[in-house]
Chains A and B, each alone.
Chain A
Amino acid sequence: MSKLLIVDDSTMLRDMLNYALNEGGYTDVTEAIDGKDGLEKAKSMAFDLIITDVNMPNMDGITLIAELRKLPQYATKPILVLTTERSDEMKVKGKSAGATGWIVKPFVPDQLLKAVNIVLSR
């Protein structure tokens, strides 16, 4: 069973993501409320996929991704960044930090699951 970690400061968004992932068969989902919380949780458990928002207090998503990539256990694990911005700037930032891919917010559950399935089946 794949262990997923979702990092977002909005309780509402976390709830929605959780729900969508559960519906798609991913029931082992852990939530973190900001980058700092996310990093701590990631260190304490081995997640197979991390999905993170960008704009959060106490460490934003880009920094979180960069930090995760420094850890040996997450050097090559899939990390998806959630963003409402479609500009190239966002993609460059995400890519530079080491993200595997991106998902746009608001997300479409089908698409979310598609992306998750792809990275996890690798």
Chain B
Amino acid sequence: MSSFDISKYREMFLEESVELFESADNVLLEAENNGTLNDEEMGQLFRDVHTLKGSGASVELKLFAEFTHDVENMMDKLRNHQIEFQPEMVDTLMAGLDVMKELLELEVAEELTRETFTEMTQDLLIEIRKYINGEAPSSSEPKQVTSQPVQNEKTSSTQASNPSNSLGQSYGFFKEELNGTSSNDFDTQPYGFFDETIINLNDESDNFGFFDDDLQMSAFNSGSKEAKRVQQEETDDSDFFDDMPELDPNSKIEQINNHIASSNSATPQQQAASAAGAKKAADRTKEKTVATTNNIRVNLDKIDLLMNNVGDLVITNAMLTQFTTTIEDSKTRVSVLERLDLLERHIRDMQDSIMSIRMVPMESIYSKFPKVVRDISKKLGKKVEFKHYGDNVEIDKAMIEGLTDPLMHIIRNSLDHGLETPEERVKSGKDEVGFITISAEQANGQMIITIEDNGRGINADKVAQKAFDNGLIDENQLASMSANDKAMLVFGAGVSTADKITDISGRGVGMDVVKTNIQKLGGAIRLDTAVGVGTTITIVLPLTLAILDGLDIAVGTHKYILPLSSIVESLQPTTDMIKRIGDGTQDLLMLREEFIPVVKVYKLFGIEPKYRKIEDGMLIVVKSGNMKVALFIDEFLHQHQVVVKPLDKNFRSVEGIGAATVRGDGSIGLILDILGIINAQKKVEKQHIKEAQKAS
């Protein structure tokens, strides 16, 4: 038989499992908050774990599937009300999910041995099996699960007593002979036909079956003792099938389920419980936002390709437009231009549509946070309420990766250093439960994300002192900085005023990485804090990385593109605005009491300019984050929208150049990387300072 590419399918499974785990975690978080688990939630939990098991088994993750089977068993009993939900179960189930995640990763990496597996799962399995048997884990001493007949179970009794065998029957995928068991248990048949009278089964276990005589017969030739046994079972149930009502979706299925349940078990409590559960579930669903939509998964690369294709359309259209200007007959020229204009509008619409495909709701970032907050706050013994807003605000999918870690780090910091312990909070007159909120909104073509806590705030002076000690700032700066600027120093490397380094944060490595990552996305980060009150961190980001509004600038015969978002202002400088320092190699622009270093673009790129005197050319003040420089260029031309094409994929990374595009006339446009230029400038300055110090 053909060979499946297991690794490819395992990758797909890993991807799919993320959502399933998140869904299950969130249900459990709800349950923890409410102290109850309603029927709908139980069903959702069961389905998630059930799918994880089935899919995991399909890609031969045997150990993962084995452990998941037990977790699934517990969920199954819960949803069938064979065991009653207790709040303590949430911890066990959540731990179970965590172990499942670890097992999954290890097994996919082929690093999971039976020994490790046993180590990881032993204790938890004991707890789970106790719950399954209707005992509370704390009450009885740990013992191996016995084969006590659990009520109404025809199949799982075998599983309870033979944990290691239990999975041997439910998968056996890429092998020539099936992993059939030697038992005559009907349930080992992996396929079957719903035949009412005779089911002839081969001795070799088959994975399918048919409900129809003829089919079953044609599938399986020989009769066996199985047949008789099954026949008996069938006849036992036969009158049940006869008074089966006409089928109608959902409600009837519910009835049938209940019918089945009641014919097997006799507890009226179940009916009452499920009725109560149904009502609670109805209430709970009203609160939930509707998440079921008709979606497909698309690889981001495909969308990038599509964007590229449309970008090419834009360029070709621009070329046509330019060419049209050479048409001498003005009537013809005008009508062609009109039509091309229309074409351009359609293409822009198409671009917008594709852009919107890339847009993903913030909810996909938020979904990871509640669990992390819960885990850390528990670990630290802090009481936290975590709220998120702007779930539906959309962000470019390409930015999600770069954004999730920084946001996570900020939240961890808040939990670790910002929020106080319940005792401390009460002492300072606050509510013992602290809050952290994260919200997102779009404004002015930008995305604004705010993270706020009502913790102890950041001690700006302490931070500034630490920065000074680390040599990040000098005495003058220490004396002259505003409180907020001082607090902003937390984003510098090695600055942490944490008294203790925990494994969560405190090393002073996190916040500067956060800032760099935000800047890489083309964004900026700001901090507002008040001691004893709390801290608010604001992040501003462009809505997308794929399209840029740019300004063409000229230096000599070369043209570059400057991102509009980085431009502060442009000016024709006069001599008195320019100050020369040191040996004359560094010029400063004095603008409204601010000294801004001048970067001569022709020097940076080693090209021949039209003007060498600053007063003859143009200065454009640009910023990245809080840093500014003034670019000295010959002149600036017009602005337009460009489709950004990354440089290193096509070429290699070049300092000062962020990306490239293809212009309407077919020429390549290089897009300036302002942050890169500023960093290069800083390097030069530091070099000068060093040399100056050496000389003195």
Q: Which residues of A pack against B, CB within 8 Å?
A: 9-13, 15-16, 19-20, 23, 33, 36-37, 55, 57-58, 62-63, 66-67, 69, 80, 84, 86-89, 91-112, 114-115, 118-119, 122
Contacts and interface: CB of A to CB of B under 8 A. Distances in A.
Interface stretch (B169-177, B413-421, B422-430): B169-177
B249 interface: yes
A55 B44 CA distance: 10
11 contacts: A12-B59, A16-B58, A55-B51, A84-B50, A88-B154, A93-B253, A98-B247, A102-B208, A104-B190, A108-B172, A115-B210
Contacts of A96: 241, 244, 247, 256
A23 B2 contact: yes
Nearest to B58: A106
Nearest to B233: A88
Interface stretch (B31-39, B212-220, B465-473): B212-220
Given A62-B253, A103-B207, A115-B207, A91 B248 contact: no
A9 to B, nearest CB: 8
A98 B154 CA distance: 24
A12 B260 contact: no
Interface in B289-338: 292, 294-297
Contacts of B190: 86, 103-104, 107-108, 111
Contact of A106 (B2, B54, B189, B249): B54
Interface stretch (B9-17, B94-102, B339-347, B475-483): B9-17
B450 interface: no
Interface of A is mostly: helix
A104 B194 contact: no
Contact of B170 (A13, A20, A58, A86): A86
Given A103-B208, A111-B191, A19 B53 contact: no
Interface in B267-299: 292, 294-297
Contacts of B12: 11-12, 15
A111 B208 contact: yes
Interface in B101-152: none
Contacts of B294: 33, 36-37, 58
B658 interface: no
Interface of B is mostly: mixed
Interface in B162-203: 169-173, 175, 178, 187-194
A87 B247 contact: no
A72 B211 CA distance: 20
Among B175, B209, B244, B248, the most chain A Cβ lie within 10 Å of the Cβ of B209
B4 interface: yes
B191 A101 contact: yes
Given A104-B170, A106-B171, A16 B54 contact: no
Of the four ranges (under 10, 10 to 19, 20 to 34, 35 or more), the interface on chain B belongs to 35 or more
Among B54, B187, B297, the most chain A Cβ lie within 10 Å of the Cβ of B54
Interface string B233-258: 10001000100100111101100110
Interface of B: 1-2, 4, 9, 12-13, 16, 47, 50-51, 53-55, 57-59, 154-155, 169-173, 175, 178, 187-194, 206-212, 214-215, 218-219, 233, 237, 241, 244, 247-250, 252-253, 256-257, 260, 292, 294-297
B247 A66 contact: yes
B17 to A, nearest CB: 10
Given A13-B55, A86-B155, A95-B194, A107 B249 contact: no
Contacts of A80: 208
Nearest to B214: A122
Among B55, B175, B191, B297, the most chain A Cβ lie within 10 Å of the Cβ of B191
B601 to A, nearest CB: 49
B193 to A, nearest CB: 5
Contacts of A100: 193-194, 210-212, 215
Given A12-B16, A115-B191, 18 more contacts: A15-B9, A16-B58, A23-B2, A57-B292, A66-B247, A66-B248, A86-B155, A91-B192, A96-B241, A97-B253, A101-B194, A107-B190, A108-B173, A109-B1, A109-B2, A114-B219, A118-B218, A122-B214
A19 B57 CA distance: 17
B192 A102 contact: yes
A17 B189 CA distance: 20
A109 B252 CA distance: 34
A72 to B, nearest CB: 16
